């Protein structure tokens, strides 16, 4: 059994003239969202053994809240350039290339690709548009991550900061 958790980054500051999109940090609301979702991961004992993240500032900051709350080491995190604003099809490719040994893999990335992938894997649970800090966690009977797209999920849960815990 393998678990996949898809976490959209928390709310970021708006783009600034001349500023790079990938450098946008979390805003105050986003820091609260990230802390809330990290707490929920701890409460539900959903502890990833590998995290693949987009290299954008907002995904790194969101990930830092998860690491801190779950007392995880930074060495479990792998920034993957292909996850920055990735389309849905690029995410499973990155998972099968890099996440091979993980039993519980967390992806921290962006819309629309993350929402599209969640919809493909868990159409009855995942919303069409994951809100900031929205999370879908799925359990599947997988031998290899490369079989992800063809696998029926055995358990799927959706959570987001505005939803009561």
Of the given ranges (70-79, 132-141, 146-155), which has the lowest mean pLDDT? 146-155
What does the pLDDT average to over 19-36?
A: 96
Are the C-beta atoms of 37 and 136 separated by less than 8 Å?
no
Under the banding of pLDDT at 50, 70 and 90, the label for residue 19 is confident
CA atoms within 13 A on the CB side of 23: 5
| 2-7+24-159: CATH class | alpha beta
Q: Convert the pLDDT of each residue in 93-147 to its tens digit.
A: 999 887 678 999 999 999 999 999 999 999 999 999 999 999 999 999 998 898 8
Are the C-beta atoms of 118 and 110 separated by less than 8 Å?
no
Domain parsing of the chain, residue ranges: 2-7+24-159
pLDDT of res. 78 = 96
Backbone angles phi and psi of 162, in degrees to 5: -80, -15
Long-range contacts of 12-15 (CB under 8 A, 24+ apart): 12/57, 12/58, 12/132
């Amino acid at each position: 059994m393998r678990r996949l958790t898809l976490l959209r980054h928390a709310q970021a500051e708006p783009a600034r003239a001349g500023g790079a999109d990938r450098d946008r940090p979390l805003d105050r609301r986003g820091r609260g969202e990230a802390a809330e979702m990290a707490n929920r991961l701890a409460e539900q004992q959903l502890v990833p053994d590998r995290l693949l993240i987009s290299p954008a500032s907002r995904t790194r900051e969101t990930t830092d809240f998860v690491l801190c709350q779950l007392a995880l080491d930074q060495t479990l995190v792998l920034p993957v350039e292909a996850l920055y604003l990735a389309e849905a099809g690029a995410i499973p490719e990155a998972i099968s290339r890099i996440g091979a040994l993980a039993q519980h893999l967390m992806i921290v990335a962006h819309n629309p690709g993350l929402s599209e992938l969640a919809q493909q894997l868990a159409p009855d649970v995942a919303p069409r548009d994951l809100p900031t800090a929205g999370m879908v966690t799925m359990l599947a009977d997988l031998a290899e991550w490369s079989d992800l797209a063809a696998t029926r999920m055995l358990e799927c849960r959706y959570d987001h900061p505005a939803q009561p815990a």
